[in-house]
Structure 1
Amino acid sequence: MNKFYRPFMFTIVLFAIGLFVNALDHAVIWSTFDLNYILIVIVCIISEANYLLNQSSIKHSLTAPLTLFLAFYNPLLLCYLGILIYETIGKAIIAKREGGSNHILDEKWFFNVSQFIILIGFSKYFVTQLTVLPTYEFAINLLSLVFAYNLVNTFLTHLMISLYNNTNHFKRISLKNFVTYSFSYFIILLALIFAFEAYGFVGLTVACIFVLQTQGSIFTNLTAKELNHRLSVDKMTNAFNRNFFDEVVELNLVAKKPFSILFIDLDDFKLVNDAYGHVIGDALLIDFVAIIKSLLRKENRVFRYGGDEFCIIFDNIEQAKSVQKRLEAFVFMFHDEKSGSMIYYHISLGLYEYTSDLEITYSELIHQVDQNMYNDKKRKKCKEKDETIFELS
């Protein structure tokens, strides 16, 4: 935890309390506390619960456009009360689901509530400058507001995480995700506003159903993509795994689609594990995959066939031969930061080209690729009998 984390949290919470107290000084028109307000708060609770209960590591909350909608039609105090209600109930749902092991009013709750109060407090100023009309000017101003809201929200969130973990979490910001989320917030907020302006409570209800369905679809798609990623990727090296390799090769064979395979084996890798241990050996493999990926085009895929064996699939033999030459000329080394040692190692390569006129099974193809790799290994051993397989310095 960074030494500035506590001062940062204290400042955020204190600033939010100041905004809340300031809102108490303004008269509240309680007639705005109607079915429309209750509906939005309930939808916020459902949306927040969906967000917190979602099992995907990538989460997408839709409370931002809903809370901005509150700012359009309600005084600040009611907006702040709405934030307190849905954040607290959302955390209570999670605490109950996990057997009450977590405290509801923890640091995360204080940060989330304070963050929303600050964002809505500043957004309210710009909202009061807007006149709801179906014009390009209104749409552009609303889009600017949503982007500014999401920008400040992203900055505060990543700053808090960076200070808490004492790391630079800003490196994980995805411009694509930022733009995508901002546009989705804008479309949802626009739909809520115009549905309410045109059809009142009934229109707002329909729009809220649309919001919840949208969130459900997003979570379903994200979960499916993440599950597919987990099933097809080797967790340690982040290369594709053997199952996915088998699937790609077999599909190409069935479709009679020409392709080339470059089989890679780290020579006498067992010696590295014996000398340094499996932790260093695993780190070397991770580094090796990163090196291979840096030498490939985006469309080429690296697969971990098993242990210290890897495969690359190419669309044509020319690409495969080009990468093979680069790998043969490459000096592979891994720096063990803990011991300060440098591990030099070598690889053996086996290249195979499949053309549509060949009649070959998956097993026969793998056997041929494997033989080509072992032929390369034998050729090097005969040529360099007296050389050590890897050097330590």
Structure 2
Amino acid sequence: MSATRSLHLAAEIGGPPHYDAEWYVDLARLAERGALDFITLQDSFGRPGPDALAVLSRVAPATERIGLVPAVTTTHTEPFHVSTALATLDWVSRGRAGWLVGVSATPAEARLFGRRRAAPAAALWKEAGEVAEVSARLWDSWEDDAEIRDVSTGRFIDRDKLHHVDFQGTGFSVRGPSIVPRPPQGRPVVVADGTADPAAETAVRHADVVLIGAGRPEEATALRERLLARAAAHGRDPGTLRVLAALTVHLGDGERPLDPGLESAPHTTAGDGGPHYRGGPAGLAELIAGWHGAGAVDGFHLTPAEPRRDLERLVNGTVALLQHRSLFRTFHPGGTLREHLGLARPANPYASAGGAR
């Protein structure tokens, strides 16, 4: 791995539900001040709280650079609506939208809709992959220059540059084109968990950013290499994937000396919610620098145990230390989430194929 490759950092801003938009705006601005690539906001049908996608649509005009990645479940939802809602977020944020792919697995969540019973994980993640696939097709169904907006002729759209989508999934069908023009990023950034199957199979096929749970750098390295190999086997360029270690951080404790033998992974423990770090901002900076420098991961997705306290210490402590060591940027060099991640804007396959697909 090249030592000069970029370090990517992201943070979750969820936690106990808040119904004041300024709570989320303040956290997003804090993360933006630290030049983080993106923030996520977890969501599910099985817990109280406002809708994550709607919240980040409110956050969008109050921020300028930070990527906005809501969790949106593909279960019990209409794929066409998922696609158009995420495209809309990309437009209102001027190219900063992403999508944390989720599924709804519990009987309680199924009863909220009453249309079908809870399904096994394998079926849910297969469906999630199909939703990701048809969403990409819908985002591409408008060529970039399909809008004419010619007042003199009254023509708004070049219909030859709108493309029909006829997709048949296992449990749904979709016919396009989309009702929203192609998003500023071409396609919003797709984020998915890749720690274990069946979610990992969906991630290697469709995600731009893959999150992994690993307690030590050696484990992260092995997971990352397997994911990149699987992506290549599906015909993808492994260089287009960003693999981030998912870590819950408790930064309320003071700095502690590293335990013997744990210099490469200070204070990292495995729990029911995945790997946890407990300690101070400086120790976390050492962990991040060590894992990234060893090529174990492309960066970290950090979930603060206490959102306001830990995010403040992350930005003002950990990120500041990494910036001081020239290991992390001090500003966003681009305007879109894809630019933050070093990912190219996808070409439209309809346009490159002359409209056929």
Shorter-chain TM-score bucket reads under 0.3
More strand by share: 2
More contact order relative to length (CA 8 Å, sep ≥ 6): 2
Name the TM-score, length of structure 2 as normaliser: 0.25
